[in-house]
Amino acid sequence: MALSLDDHWMRLVYLNGLMVRVGGKRSLYRTHRSIEDDQLAAALVIAVGRLPERWVAAFAWMQSAKRITVPHPDDAVAAILGDSAEVPKALLEEAQRAVLRDGDLTRFGVVQAITLVAHQTNQDPDVRFAMERLAGDYLAATHATPAE
């Protein structure tokens, strides 16, 4: 059995998930190879020990994303979701409508619209995961800037 430990963020108002990988990597991944219990426990301790620094980075991205205006957020949604074979066009279009309707014209607003649609409109867990991951990749591409 393989083991993966990923960072998963929840937007508590709507329970929208967001998969964010700091540094583009999972916190921990073990393939289908045997491992001694002590070795696995040590790997988990190391991975969990790194979580606070990963959270600090992700929070910095979120704070910066709230300050970065996106002139055409519907186009940003199309750029994020449009090349994904996993995301149906109807969900892409619904996310575009959501970002314009919500009026948050920031990078954070784009992420929020995608994850909102992933949970409220979509019923397929694989599509939801794909949308969460793509939104997380977009968030991770945000350059953290100092708060004003």
What is the residue range of 69's domain? 1-148
Residues 6+ apart with CB under 8 A from 52: none
108-139 residue pLDDT tens: 999 999 999 998 888 898 999 899 889 988 98
Name the domain count of the chain.
Answer: 1
Handedness of CA 32, 38, 42, 47 (dihedral sign): positive
What pLDDT is stored for residue 13 in this prediction?
A: 45
Determine the 3-state secondary structure of 126 from DSSP: helix
Write out pLDDT tens, residues 5-55.
666 655 444 455 666 666 666 676 666 677 777 887 887 888 777 777 877
If one counts every other C-beta atom within 10 angstroms of the C-beta of residue 82, the result is 12
